[in-house]
Amino acid sequence: MGQTLSEPVVEKTSSEGGDDCVIYGVSAMQGWRISMEDAHSTVLDLEAHIKPQSDANKRMSFFGVFDGHGGEKVALFAGDNVHRIVSSQEAFRKGDLELALKNGFLATDRAILEDPKYEEEVSGCTASCAIVRRDKVIVANAGDSRTVLGVKGRAKPLSFDHKPQNEGEKARICAAGGFVDYGRVNGNLALSRALGDFEFKKSADLSPEQQIVTAYPDVTTHEISEDDEFLVLACDGIWDCQSSQAVIEFVRRGIAAKQELHRICENMMDNCLASNSETGGVGCDNMTMMIVGLLNGKTKEQWYDMIAERVAKGDGPCAPPEYAEFRGPGIHHSLDDTTDDYDPDMTSSGITRGLAGFARSGRIILLGDGTEVLTDMNEEEMFDNAGIQSSGQHPRVEDVSEDSVDPHSTGKEGNANENTANGDNAPAGEAKDADTTTPSSNSTETKSSPSTTSTSENANAQSTASSDKETAASTSSDSNKVKESS
């Protein structure tokens, strides 16, 4: 899993906000890693930089989680720009949001590749993004971050983990001249789709979708119903430790207890954090988690009361899952039809089974390389211990700005979206303008009340004190000794 610190960085960067359609809470933590490579975006009005949408029934929000690897630069770029690039697509203007997301992901790759600042860049990142309207959710995913919908306490996956060992992904990798070794692309990369990672995208005779690693996302559209309560978007620092169902139940209980959404995220990260760095990577990764509440015409208070009442009546959260894991369409990643539905949590009908199909007790965690780990923590212990590792109030800081990016040129124009770690990660040539406030929004934060937030944590960032434009104080290099993890 790479290098780790002698002690984890447990300070968290958290924020919350909302309007009359959605509320959200998000938190990010560096953990045991020597740097923070995650980024995320929360945009209450996706069209604000074009023309603010005053009609709540037509307004679209955007939420994204970007898990970096090999460095933070591509993740920072994605957190600052993906939503603008998506909303600048011709398909977006025509109302085809699925195509806009697909084209937008590929256009983001081109924008990075064409920017001279990233000429020698070797990093990459996952991208799991959701456009939320009053009546539907459209999710685009590339990589192994994940978006899950909570439906009356049951986890409904809206994304598909792109792992090299999945048959469809492996077929594309091999057809493009690559190979899969020990669950990794060319023995190196533990995921098969990503933004960046251009060393795996060099085949000039292949389309972007056919490369060894592609940024082309799966897109899922879900019509919102009264049973749909919230979305959870998170990087694999969370999903490697907890199943989709366990996370949905944890979040639901927190909501029933009237906890703020960002605090529930913080408690989950404390639960996932390993007590030491000798766990083979489980609980040692950067962690980012976002909860998006689907108000369905209710106020925030009514939404909280509704979920609390459902929980009190036993309508979840402990009801068994009703939804099979999502099997995305398309030839790039379709699974072997002779196998059961894709189940990243290794659970079926309440019985935990190993890879060979034998029933086992305890919880199975499926690592990124396909390795299984049997844990001894049960569901009640997980919920009862929520927040025990958390001490005191964590700083919650959020910067805001608006800009636009033309993904088809190297000189981008528009307002520079704020970057909490490094302002020069926006595309070359951007101008920094004033923030735009979303109509009918009430996004709240310790230092600001933005309508648009694109938050990215820099390497070695540690949030101990903050201002409106800073989210992290640098961690002294002497305070943590670096050691190699097995």
What's the pLDDT tens digit per position in 260-299? 999 999 999 999 999 988 876 799 999 999 999 999 999 9
What confidence score (pLDDT) does residue 452 get? 47
Paired residues of 193 in beta bridges: 214
**What single-letter amino acid sits at 290?**
M
- Residue in this structure with the two tokens 């990087």, named with its chain if needed: 235
**Please, what are the domains in the chain?**
3-319+387-460 (3.60.40.10)
| CA 292 to chain CA mean position, Å | 12
What confidence score (pLDDT) does residue 358 get? 30
Q: Cα–Cα distance between 256 and 248 in angstroms, integer? A: 12
Whether the predicted pLDDT of 359 surpasses 50: no
Q: Cα–Cα distance between 156 and 247 in angstroms, integer? A: 11
Whether the predicted pLDDT of 16 surpasses 90: yes
What confidence score (pLDDT) does residue 75 get? 97
Structure-block tokens of residue 39: 């980024």
Q: Cα–Cα distance between 239 and 230 in angstroms, integer? A: 17
If one counts every other C-beta atom within 10 angstroms of the C-beta of residue 210, the result is 15
Return mean pLDDT, the chain.
75
What confidence score (pLDDT) does residue 453 get? 52
| CA 54 to chain CA mean position, Å | 28
> Helix (H, G, I), strand (E, B), or coil: what is residue 59?
coil
The DSSP symbol for 330 reads S
> Which of these, 41, 60, 17, 52, lies nearest to 438 by C-alpha position?
52
What confidence score (pLDDT) does residue 362 get? 40
What percentage of the chain has pLDDT greater than the value 90? 58
What's the pLDDT tens digit per position in 149-158? 999 999 999 9
What confidence score (pLDDT) does residue 101 get? 98
What's the pLDDT tens digit per position in 75-133? 999 999 999 999 999 999 999 999 999 999 999 999 999 999 988 889 999 999 999 99
The structure's pTM equals 0.70
Query: CA of 454: how far to CAs of 217, 411, 421, in Å?
Result: 21, 21, 11
What confidence score (pLDDT) does residue 52 get? 76
Paired residues of 12 in beta bridges: 29
**What single-letter amino acid sits at 434?**
A
Q: Cα–Cα distance between 244 and 341 in angstroms, integer? A: 15
Cα dihedral sign for 476, 25, 281, 370?
Answer: negative
Whether the predicted pLDDT of 208 surpasses 60: yes
Q: How many helices and strands in the chain, by DSSP H and E?
A: 9, 24
> Helix (H, G, I), strand (E, B), or coil: what is residue 69?
strand
Whether the predicted pLDDT of 28 surpasses 70: yes
Buried b (16+ CB within 10 A) or exposed e, 331-349: ebbbbeeeeeebbbbbbee
Q: Cα–Cα distance between 149 and 331 in angstroms, integer? A: 25
> Helix (H, G, I), strand (E, B), or coil: what is residue 199?
helix
What's the pLDDT tens digit per position in 425-482? 444 333 333 333 333 334 444 333 334 455 544 433 333 333 443 433 333 334 343 3
In angstroms and rounded to an integer, the radius of gyration of the C-alpha atoms of the chain is: 21
> Which of these, 312, 128, 306, lies nearest to 229 by C-alpha position?
306
